[in-house]
Amino acid sequence: MTELTIPSVLAFNRKLEPSDAIIYSGSWKDIDNKNKDKWPPIELFERRNRAVKSNFKQEILDDEEKLKEEITEPNLSWGDDAALPPNTDTLKVSFSLRVFGGIDIPAACNKKEFQDKFSEIINAYSDEIGFEELAKRYAYNLVNGRFLWRNRVGAQKICIHVNHKSFDKPLKFNAYDYPLKETTTSDDKISPLIELIEKGLKGDENIFLEIDAYVKLGNQQRVWPSQEMVMNIPNGEKSRHLFSLNVDGKRVAAIHCEKIGNAIRTIDDWQKKSEMPIAIEAYGQVTQRGVACRSSKNDFKTLIEKWLNNKEISEKDKHFVVAMLIRGGVFSKKES
């Protein structure tokens, strides 16, 4: 029998769909106050500085006179910035998250025998193993505030509120109770959230969650929205562009949905090349460190082809493969 391989057309829709996050400002004493007047969105502003040059070509470093000349020239810095306004000490980051099923059906697949076998193994995974382990990990990254990224570093206090239509009141979590180096917890307090995410991934119900994170930084402290990637910026133009959303005609600080999603799927501690969990990626890529933590022996395409062809892979590898399907993407393989 011919072994199944990934077809030339194969794609999956995301099953965890976060919104962009808006950043607000207020006071820690008001974190239970839902009055919008207490939590206005943070507007971006521009900052212009006279900075010092720190990058020089080797020929400049080798010429003392040219180096002295270069050092005296100002390095003008112009870019977007964001901070808590005076008399506020807390930022609020708000976004929503949808969780839904249908993992056993590709969004696109041009090989019927592949799709039939694929649906068979994923349905077996759902029945025999289930989505509880993955749901635990996604829930953990909501309650630990990993999605805050740099805003989490050095914060005095962090409180996460998670709401769903079935809750009488939001679930509340102290983010520091859930260390970033871990991926799960035995804390029963998180169980209602795990159950909802599991229900969504199974396809029993389309789940809609609302998440508010309150971060006490201190009066007028800087905050960190997402940074836009702008290529080929001309000399003398603004070099730092922060992500913003239009709220009532104002440029309001925000975090990309992609960055939120990356944090939620930072659950891969099954690979052995990183001491910290990494985001679910086909080859375990960690771009900021320039490494790939999964080799050609335990990458997504190798593992799913083994599984499809009834070769032995571990339960942890199956969790990784399914997490990649939840992540979504185009996984087509060129015909040889």
For 278-292, the pLDDT digits (tens) are 999 999 999 888 888
Plot region of 329 (φ>0 → left; ψ -120 to 50 → alpha; else → beta): left
Q: pTM, whole model, 2 decimals?
A: 0.92
Reported confidence tier of residue 21, pLDDT bands at 50, 70, 90: very high
For residue range 218-270, what is the model confidence (pLDDT) as tens digits? Answer: 999 999 999 988 777 776 677 788 999 999 999 999 999 999 999 999 999 99
Average pLDDT value over all residues in the chain: 92
Distance CA 51, CA 278 (A): 35
User: Are the C-beta atoms of 26 and 219 separated by less than 8 Å?
Assistant: no
Name every residue whose Cβ is closer than 8 Å to that of residue 216 and which is 6 or more positions away in sequence. Answer: 28, 89, 90, 155, 156, 157, 158
Within 13 Å and on the Cβ side, how many CA atoms surround 122? 24
pLDDT interval class at 64 (50, 70, 90): confident
**pLDDT for the residue numbered 88:** 97
Q: Mean pLDDT across the stretch 148-154? A: 96
pLDDT at 53: 67
205, 100 contact by CB (below 8 A): no
- Residue 271 pLDDT more than 70? yes
**How far apart are alpha carbons 228 and 319 in whole angstroms?**
32
Residue 73 has pLDDT above 90, yes or no: no
